[in-house]
């Protein structure tokens, strides 16, 4: 019996002493985001070097991507960034259900982005355009490099969209359980920072791949 009460005491003690340091959480998140910037940044440098080398092939290959589909996905991601920011603003004002509603819209936008992206990729695959395909190997080297970078960078970005959507789902559960709330909002803040980074990467991916043709 005394063991049980000790365990309970320790349990409640550990809950009270749970470490909570918003400033450190925020700085840590930013440091992580910097590694993401350098990850994508390196790929953008590769893109820039080959753009110099194969300027005409890049323009030719880019002209075969659908600008309007790319633009639609841009509008979707920008809107999802707005709803993410609004969700954080709502929870800061302790408006739980508004915050959750905004998170739902954000996830719907993330899924819409992925669906459109998958249609886009399948259209390319159905034209036998994917790395090392027969049709691809007949194309000029510059176009092969362009499509290689296109699939690598939009693929890595799509992976980030999936991870971001999963994080937002977790944030929704935390908000529902009030583990994340106005006075303990770090998890939602950091999820938002991650989501805005995903948006930020796409802001640069979109014009460089779709609009240079």
Partner 1 sequence: MQTGNTQPHDHPLVPYRVYFMVWGALIGLTVITVCVSYLDMKHVTVLTASMIAAVKGSLVVLYFMHIRFEQRIYAFMILAILGTYAIFIGLTFVDYWYR
Contact residues toward partner 1 (CB under 8 A) are: 21-23, 30, 34, 37-38, 41-42, 45, 48-49, 51-52, 67-68, 71, 74-75, 78-79, 81-82, 84-86, 89, 92-93, 182-183, 185, 192-193, 196-197, 199-200, 203-204, 206-208, 210-213
Whose Cβ is closer to partner 1: residue 25's or residue 148's? Answer: 25
Choose between 15 and 52: whose C-beta lies nearer to partner 1: 52
Closest approach of partner 1 to the CB of residue 2, in Å: 36
How near is the Cβ of 152 to partner 1 at its closest, in Å? 18
Q: Which two tokens stand for residue 179?
A: 């583990």
Residues 141/54, Cβ–Cβ less than 8 Å: yes
Q: How far is the CB of 108 from partner 1 (least distance, A)?
A: 16
Residue 155: CB minimum distance to partner 1, A: 20
Q: For residue 56, what are the CA distances in angstroms to 122, 149, 193?
A: 25, 16, 37
Q: Identify the bridge partners of residue 184 per DSSP, sorted by sequence position.
A: 181
- Of the two residues 6 and 75, which places its CB atom closer to partner 1 in the complex? 75
- Cβ-based nearer residue to partner 1, 96 or 196: 196
Judged by CB, which is closer to partner 1: 134, or 183? 183
Q: What angle do CA 199, 201, 207 make, to 5 degrees?
A: 100
DSSP secondary structure letters along 89-156: HHHHTT-HHHHHHHHHHHHHHHHHHHHHHHHHHHHHHHTT-STT-HHHHTS-HHHHHHHHHHHHHHHH
Residue 28, CA distances (Å) to 24, 32, 182, 187, 190 in order: 6, 6, 20, 12, 9
**Least distance to partner 1, CB of residue 85, Å:** 5
């Amino acid at each position: 019996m005394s063991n049980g009460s000790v365990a309970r005491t320790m349990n409640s003690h550990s809950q009270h002493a749970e470490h909570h340091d918003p400033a450190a959480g925020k700085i840590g998140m930013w440091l992580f985001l910097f590694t993401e910037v350098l990850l994508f940044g390196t790929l953008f440098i590769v893109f820039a070097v080959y753009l110099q080398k194969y300027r005409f092939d890049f323009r030719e290959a880019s002209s075969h991507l659908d600008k309007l589909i790319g633009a639609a996905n841009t509008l979707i991601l920008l809107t999802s960034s707005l709803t993410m920011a609004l969700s954080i603003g709502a929870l800061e004002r302790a408006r739980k259900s508004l915050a959750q509603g905004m998170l739902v819209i954000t996830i719907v936008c993330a899924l819409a982005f992925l669906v459109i992206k998958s249609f886009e990729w399948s259209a390319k695959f159905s034209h036998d355009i994917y790395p090392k395909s027969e049709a691809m190997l007949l194309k000029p080297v510059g176009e092969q490099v362009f499509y290689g970078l296109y699939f690598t960078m939009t693929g890595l970005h799509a992976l980030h969209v999936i991870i971001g959507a999963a994080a937002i789902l977790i944030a929704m559960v935390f908000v529902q359980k009030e583990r994340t709330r106005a006075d303990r909002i770090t998890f939602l803040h950091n999820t938002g920072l991650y989501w805005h980074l995903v948006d930020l990467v796409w802001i640069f991916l979109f014009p460089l791949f779709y609009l240079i043709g």
